[in-house]
Amino acid sequence: MKHKISAFFLIIGLLSHTLPLFSIDDYYNFPKQSYKGSVSFESSRTLCIFPFAAQNEDNTKEYLMKGIPSVLLSDLRNLEYTYVENPRKNIIYHSFGENPQSTLQEKIDAESTNVKRKKREINDEKDLEELRIGKKQVSPEKDPRYIKITIKQMWEKKPLSMDEAFGAATKFNCDYILSGSFEVNENNLKTKAFLFDDYEGKSSSFEHQTSVIRAYQEMSPLGESIKEKLQGKEATTLGISANGEEGALVYLDGIYLGKTPLSEKKFPIGKRSLFIFKEGFYPYKSDILLEKGKKFQLDVSLTLKLNRSFISVTSNVESDVYLGIQFLGKTPITRMPIPSGLNRLRVSKEGYIDSFRSIDAKDEEETVIDVPMREGQTEVYYKNKQNVFLDHTYKDFTTYSIYGSLLFYASYAYLNYASRQFYSGARSQVSLTNALAITTFSQNNPNEFLFWYYSQNRIINDAESEAKNLKRIAGTLPIENRRDRQLVAGPMVILMGLMLVSAATFYFLGLDKETLEFGYLPVNPASVSYGQTSREGYGYMQFNVRY
């Protein structure tokens, strides 16, 4: 009876703690929550380039082991991405609840009004399938089938065979591996390369033959073949001109292709974003379609920017006026049209010190500047402002300090090496190095043991003393102090630090208002839209310039 009563109270106690659990769904509002399923796809892959193996031994041709992959690397550098029809899925979010209308991320974005995120165009396999059949069109930046490529140079590793590629891909975390071999026969160079795809588990082979003398110059066809394979999509040629304007910068999907006139450039087919920029003109931006088997040719008409800002310059003597590198005329200058944005104004006259001013020209506004010119020599005036000692400037002493730190680091490295050598030298002179050997020797030769022990101990003590003295002079850097990662001061370490501090100090002292340059530079193509003013995007300010 007693046990039954105890069990009854125990059950009541458990129920008192269990009943609130039934309200968890209501507490978290689970019945009303519903999320649409979504998928996160891979966004980047790594291409590892290994040295090439020599088929026949020839010490005079060893440079080709790294030389051939280096040339191929130059052809693959502008490979921005690879096209993969079925990209890997990184994270899969399954749908939850009844009649889901939006994904979890979309719900979070809707509730976080102050946080701006890029809208994802492709959220699941259905969206991806619509891309494949052409029902949906997005730019390559938002298409998960276009995966960015990062190139990793593995020059210090050994050349790989095709059978070793699978293990190396896992070991070095490579999605693609490029390696191969070469054979030199008299003046002929035969190159065999293979590209291993870790995702597909397949290798593609390539061959190229040329002369040894012209090997680097004639390696482009091999590089183009590998590039086309990595792109994963058929390419077509395109030519772009800018209505006779030369030197305009051409970008396709954010990848720099060259300057106008541009011809015979290959690029994967599909919908592309074209951007053309030249200073003094409005940027051109448009979507184009590259089709299979059709050469794309386009002649763009760039619109000249009109100078909508004005400047007036006066001085106490007639002087030449320059805006950047453009000559505006002689003072006085009254209400002359100039481009908007940041720039540098220089007023110059022989026998007088050049005057530099930074200006920020704004649309429909006039900048008025009065420059008092001072007699003197420009070269002497600006040179002396930077001098530290005789003809040596702050920049010179910054460089000298860096060289000094390298010199003290070399001394530090040598002293550490010499310290280790003392230990190594003593180790070769000590004959018995373990307790069993010492015990056996002392029992079998008691008369000789004391003399041997004294001489051996003296060798060890002398080596340890010399090694510690050298280490004390060198000091220890945290990267080499593996025990506690602490800095141990020594003359070499202290002098090294002083040199680095001196370099930073001289560099800081060498910066003044005379060492600033203002001008124009192209902006990131992705951030430019038609009609954007130069003040918003093209002005720049640069340090470390001496006039």
| DSSP state string for 263-300 | EEEEEESEEEEEEEE-TTB--EEEEEEE-TT--EEEE-
Model confidence at 115, in pLDDT bands (50, 70, 90)?
Answer: low
Q: What is the dihedral of CA 394, 397, 399, 402, to 10 degrees?
A: -130
pLDDT of residue 527: 45
**Amino acid at the residue 547:** Y
Task: Decide if 367 contacts 310 (C-beta within 8 A).
Answer: yes
Q: What is the DSSP code (8-state) at residue 242? A: -
The answer on pLDDT for 86 being more than 70 is yes
| Residues pairing with 183 in the sheet | 190
Which of 374, 79, 410, 97 has its CA nearest to residue 255? 79
Across the range 62-87, mean pLDDT stands at: 85
**Amino acid at the residue 546:** R
pLDDT of residue 544: 41
Q: pLDDT (tens digit, 9 = 90+) per residue, 409-455?
A: 888 888 888 888 877 777 666 665 556 666 666 666 666 666 666 67
Q: How many CA atoms lie within 13 A of 94 on its CB side?
A: 2
**Amino acid at the residue 177:** I
Q: pLDDT (tens digit, 9 = 90+) per residue, 334-379?
A: 988 887 777 888 999 998 988 888 888 888 889 999 999 988 887 7
Task: Decide if 143 contacts 85 (C-beta within 8 A).
Answer: no
Across the range 52-63, mean pLDDT stands at: 85
Q: What is the mean pLDDT of the chain?
A: 77
| Residues pairing with 211 in the sheet | 188
Using a cut of 0.85, tell me whether the model's pTM lies above it.
Answer: no
Handedness of CA 205, 210, 215, 217 (dihedral sign): negative
Q: pLDDT (tens digit, 9 = 90+) per residue, 491-538?
A: 888 888 888 888 888 887 776 544 544 454 444 444 444 444 433 444
Q: pLDDT (tens digit, 9 = 90+) per residue, 3-16?
A: 556 665 555 555 55
Q: Cα separation of 369 and 367, whole Å?
A: 7
Q: Cα separation of 340 and 538, whole Å?
A: 10
- List the structure tokens of 66: 């790294």
To the nearest 10 degrees (0 to 180), the angle between helices 491-509 and 394-429 is 170
Strand order in the sheet with 320-323: 326-330, 320-323, 341-348, 355-361
